[in-house]
Amino acid sequence: MAKTKTLFFCQSCGNESPKWLGRCPGCGEWNTFVEELVPAKAGPGGVFAGLIGLSGLGGPGGGAPVALKEVEITGERRVGTGFGELDRVLGGGLVPGSLILLGGDPGIGKSTLWLQVANHTAGRGMKALYVSGEESTRQTRMRADRLGEIAGGLMVQAETDLAVVIKQAEAIRPDLLVVDSIQAVYRADLESAPGGVGQVRECAAALLKLAKTTGIAVVMLGHVNKAGDLAGPRVLEHVVDSVLYLEGERHQSYRILRGVKNRFGSTNEIGLFEMTDSGLREVANPSQVLLSERPQGVSGSVVACSLEGTRPLLVEVQALMVASPYGTARRTVAGVDQNRVALILAVLEKRCGLNLSGHDAYVKVSGGIRIEEPAVDLGLAVALASSYREVPADPGTVVFGEVGLAGEVKACSRIDQRIREASRLGFTRCVVPAGGLPQEACGIEVVGVRSVAEAIEACLT
């Protein structure tokens, strides 16, 4: 048995310490340190110290320094996954030799998505190896049967011992290796239990080495814990080339694939999928789908526009304000940051003269999608005011712009692109920040507003 020693890892950011700490000096979180056994040789600098040189695309380090100008870039090859939405989130397809982490709640569709991708890859004459640490090969076969024709080159292996997985992968040399999941596999030379931070880090380190030395594109699937952190795998975000999350409400069929880190493309790109009886299907026109169930003529419903990565997305924001029967007003928020809603409520109260303090506020973004871009602020403000006054907003209007504490509306990026998306979907009017009016006519009425009050005026009459 290899010599081991005890180290403590922060479950939130992966910081390590020789002793237990109540608060992580790296991320400031409390009670995140867990004890793990790691090989004694993984000395100061951490278990990844020797791997830093491997993390680029150029393969293992070890060479002498060279002039950057002289470094040859061989045409970067990208492999299509069969899903345009996934390719875009990845920055144009899978990069050979890259290591990808896909996180998501249990049951959201991670295994399904990557079994489909593996099948597609194999169907195009490449080799794909799907390693399942959670299901038997029969169970994987039963799942694959739902997804359509199974390609001859798709191989499966039910295995949790990572050494075996790596040995097989080195022998078979697939173009794509899917490890389902990173919490299920373990390294036998470590004493700690599978799924722990130490195991997960070590396993990822071994897979990183495999990807960089062989050129195999490796995808690790990982479960998110209840608190929303990728238990364990969160610490891998620094190591991998791309981090993707599959999100959505389990009881709704839409799934959002979000890129939160991407070494080979832009981040914050999203892709929309629908879970069907035969696996995941990409949604070609996300704005249309997200707006399809929009109620007409009801107060509190407003169409806002958010830029997700490079793509404008129209979403319906809904607000419901009701007189609070209790002393303290409730604020229940889904799909946007609760703090932003609090800020907008404060602005509406102080700058627009709405007396909201005795009201409960419920806010929701339709379709189970989560929006982080501040440009939805103005849509939220109008939706809240619409519900409070019980005046429906004009259904043909799209509203966007960031809201400041003085009640002002700030310019946001790519206004033209957003207006074009609104026009494409048949909207007739956009209420936008006055500071960023488009230069050219977009075939749609554009109203520039300087304040939240002006926006409310423009939408609720």
Residues that bind Mg ion (CB under 5 A): 111
306 part of the interface to ligand TYD, by CB under 6 A = no
Residue 374 in contact with residue 402, Cβ under 8 Å?
A: yes
Is 107 a binding residue for ligand TYD by CB under 6 A? The answer is yes
- Report in angstroms how near the CB of residue 257 gets to Mg ion at its nearest: 15
Q: Which of 70, 72, 149, 277 is close enough to bind ligand TYD by CB under 6 A?
A: 277
Please, which residues bridge with residue 244 across strands?
102, 259
Residues 6+ apart with CB under 8 A from 200: 182, 183, 222, 232, 233, 235, 236
Interface with ligand TYD, residue 143, by CB under 6 A: yes
Of 111, 132, 242, 387, the one binding ligand TYD (CB under 6 A) is 111
Q: Does 379 bind ligand TYD (CB under 6 A)?
A: no
How wide is the angle at C-alpha 241 spanned by C-alphas 130 and 261, nearest 5°? 110
Residue 108 near which of ligand TYD, Mg ion, none (CB within 5-8 Å, type-dependent): ligand TYD
Q: Give the total of residues touching ligand TYD (CB under 6 A).
A: 15
Cα gap 419→312, rounded to integer Å: 9
222 touches, from ligand TYD, Mg ion, none (C-beta below 5 to 8 Å by class): none
The Cβ of residue 314 has, within 10 Å, a number of other Cβ atoms equal to: 23
User: Shortest distance, CB of residue 109 to ligand TYD, whole angstroms?
Assistant: 4
Cβ atoms of 52 and 250 within 8 Å: the answer is no
Answer for the pair 383, 333: CB distance below 8 angstroms, yes or no.
no
CB of 451 to Mg ion, least distance (A): 49
The DSSP result for 91-115, as a single string, is: TSSBPTT-EEEEEE-TTSSHHHHHH
Nearer to Mg ion, 111 or 121 (CB): 111
Helices (H), 64-196: 84-90, 110-123, 137-146, 162-172
242 binds, among ligand TYD, Mg ion, none (CB under 5 to 8 A by kind): none
The least CB distance from residue 104 to ligand TYD, in Å, is 5
Please report whether residue 255 would count as binding ligand TYD according to CB under 6 A.
Answer: no
Q: Which of 252, 278, 332, 413 contacts ligand TYD by CB under 6 A?
A: 278
- For residues 8 and 203, give the distance between their C-alpha atoms in angstroms, rounded to a whole number: 17
CB of 365 to ligand TYD, least distance (A): 22
Residues 40 and 5: beta-carbon distance below 8 Å: yes
- In a 13 Å sphere around the CA of 78, the CA atoms on its Cβ side amount to 15
Identity of the residue, 32 or 112, whose beta carbon is nearer to ligand TYD in the bound complex: 112
- Binding partner of residue 109 among Mg ion, ligand TYD, none, CB under 5 to 8 Å per kind? ligand TYD
Q: Radius of gyration of the chain from Cα atoms? A: 25
447 contact choice in ligand TYD, Mg ion, none (CB below 5 to 8 Å, kind-dependent): none
Q: Which pair of tokens denotes residue 395?
A: 């259904």
Token pair, residue 33, equals 């340190």
Q: Does 108 bind ligand TYD (CB under 6 A)?
A: yes
Residue found by looking up tokens 């799942």 in the block: 143
From the list Mg ion, ligand TYD, none, which binds 14 (C-beta under 5 to 8 Å, kind-based)? none
CB of 269 to ligand TYD, least distance (A): 20
Query: Which positions lie near ligand TYD, rule CB under 6 A?
Result: 104, 106-112, 143, 146-147, 275, 277-279
